[in-house]
Amino acid sequence: MPKAFKRRAPPSSGPTPYSAASRPSATGSAAPQRNNNNLVSANTGLGQHFLKNPAVVAAIIERASLKPTDVVLEIGPGTGNMTVPMLEKCKRVIAVEYDDRMVREVMKRVEDAPHSSKLSIVQGDVLKTALPFFDVCVANVPYQISSGIVFKLLSHRPAFRCAVLMFQEEFALRLSAKPGEALYCRLSVNVQLLARVDQLMKVGKNNFRPPPKVESRVVRIELRNPPPPVNFTEWDGMIRLLFNRKNKTMRAVLMTKSTIKLLEDNYKTHLSLNSDGGSTMDTDVPKVTELIEEVLSMEEWKNKRAAKLEIDDFLSLLAEFNKRGIHFA
C-alpha cells in the first residue's frame, strides 16, 4: 500500500452528525452490503448518494479550475469517482471520509493508479476533524451536515482559493438568495457576509446512485479577503433575532418582552465590563427601549423589515446599535 495513504480513527467522544445512522452491527439487517452488480451500496442514512455520471464529475472538476500546484480537500470521496480524475490534475488530494467501507473502496481503487502517491485519506467526522491547509475544496456534501460544513469552511484559516460544493437544491439557492426573495434567510445573510457565492449548475437526481429525493446544485464559494471587520458572534445574534420573523417590522421584532430582557442584560453586562468602577449602573442610564426606538425611528430603518435589507444595511444597523451600547451577544 502506498505510504501516502493515511488513516485516522474517527473521534470517539460525543455524538457524530451522522448519529441517526450510526453503523449497524455486521448482523444488523440495515448494514450496507454490496449489491448484485458487485457495487458497494450507499448508506443513505449517512447521506451517501454516489455521483455516477462522468460528464457531471468532469464538469465539477473543470469549474474548480485546479492547478498542478493545488492541494485539494475532498469531503466524502465515496467510491472515488471524483478523487481519481482530480489526482491527475493537482499536486495532492486530502480526502476526509467517515465511512470505513468507503475508505477501503477508494484505497483499493487507486492503489495501482500512477498518481496513487498523491492521495492521503483521513478517516473521521469532518465536523470534528482539524482541517489541513488546502487551496481548493471539492465535495458532494452529505445533505444533513451541509450547514455545518459551510461554516466550518468559512472559518478556516489560512484562507483557501475556492470551494466547489454540491448541495440539495433548496439549500444551495438559500446560500445566494437576495433581499425580497422567498429563500432569503439568516443563512443567506451570514454566508454572503463572509463569502461570494455563485450558482454553477443544476444536477438532476438521476445522476446519483441511489437517486436522492430532491434535485441538487453545485455552487462555488470564495471567501472575502480580508474578512469584514465585524464581530461575527454579535452579528449573528442580531441576524438571528431579526430573521425569526423576517417579514415583520424590525420594531415589532425587537420590542418584544423577551428580546428587551435579553438586550437589557447585554447592556448591563457591557456597561459593567467597560465601567471605571463608578455607579453608572444605577444612575443616568437610558432605558434600552428608548435606545432601540432612537435607532428604529431613523428614516433609513423606519418600518423596515429584515427580509428586504442588504448586507450593508445590516452592518450599518449593527453599528448604530453598538454606538448606543446595544449589543446582541
Q: CA 10 to CA 129: how far, in whole Å?
A: 9
Rounded-to-integer distance, Cα 64 and Cα 58, Å: 10
| Beta strands, E only, the chain | 50-51, 71-75, 92-97, 119-123, 136-140, 162-168, 195-203, 208-209, 216-223
Q: pLDDT value at position 167?
A: 97
pLDDT digits (tens, 9 = 90+) for 115-135: 999 999 999 999 999 999 999
pLDDT at 284: 56
Amino acid occupying residue 109: R
Nine-digit cell at 149?
Answer: 460544513
- Report the pLDDT value the prediction gives residue 277, as an integer from 0 to 100: 57
**What is residue 309's predicted lDDT score, i.e. its pLDDT?**
98
User: What DSSP string describes 156-192?
Assistant: -SSPPSEEEEEEEHHHHHHHH--TTSTT--HHHHHHH
- At 269-302, the pLDDT tens digits run 888 887 665 554 454 567 899 999 999 999 999 9
Residues of the chain where predicted confidence (pLDDT) is lower than 50: 1-38, 280-281, 283
The pTM (predicted TM-score) of the whole model is 0.83
3-state helix, strand, coil in the chain (%, to 5): 40, 15, 45
Cell numbers representing residue 304 in the block: 423596515
pLDDT on residue 32: 43
d(CA 143, CA 213): 11
